[in-house]
Amino acid sequence: MSEEPLILTCPQCGQKNRVPRPRLAEGPVCGRCQAPLAIHPVVVTDATFQQEVLNAKEPVLLDCWAPWCGPCRMLAPVLDELAGELAGRVKVAKLNVDENPHTAAQFGIRSIPTLLLFQQGQLVDRIVGALPKAQILNRLAAVVRL
């Protein structure tokens, strides 16, 4: 695991904050305004898919979900945790399939939640269903160096 600190931008004041990785679990706050620096999944749309997923430097775990889907809502807190724990190593992203049908159709999303794992712009794994965090991490570790 890289010990290089992350640079997190404060959602309140825009200040860039250098946060050592070991301190991510402590719930870091902005050095200027003291607002929480939570790490959440990146929202991806049909328009931003190329830039956020295919052109990403790090591997991307893309959650294909919909707001009406119960299992998707159950998986959301797990993905929030993974976004913080894997920050800087794996980008966690979310794609609302109802609002972004082009990308959903492009990857044949027929059941949600579906997690797609991309590495260097290529789809390398697909996880269908709301699996427990440990199983998702095992699938990630089989493909990506964690």
Mean pLDDT of 64-71: 97
CA distance 16 to 32: 9
Which of the following is catalytic: 10, 30, 64, 72?
Answer: 72
Q: How confident is the model at residue 11 (pLDDT cuts 50, 70, 90)?
A: confident
CA–CA–CA angle 89, 92, 96 (5° rounding): 165
Distances (CA, A) of 50 to 100, 118, 120: 13, 12, 12
Residue ranges and CATH numbers for the domains of the chain are 1-38 (2.30.30.380), 42-143 (3.40.30.10)
Q: Which position has the token pair 């976004």?
A: 83
Known catalytic membership, residue 69: yes
pTM of the shown model: 0.80
In sequence order, the 6+-apart residues with CB closer than 8 A to the CB of 146 are 1, 86, 89, 90, 137, 140
Least trusted range by pLDDT, from 9-23, 57-71, 74-88, 99-113: 9-23
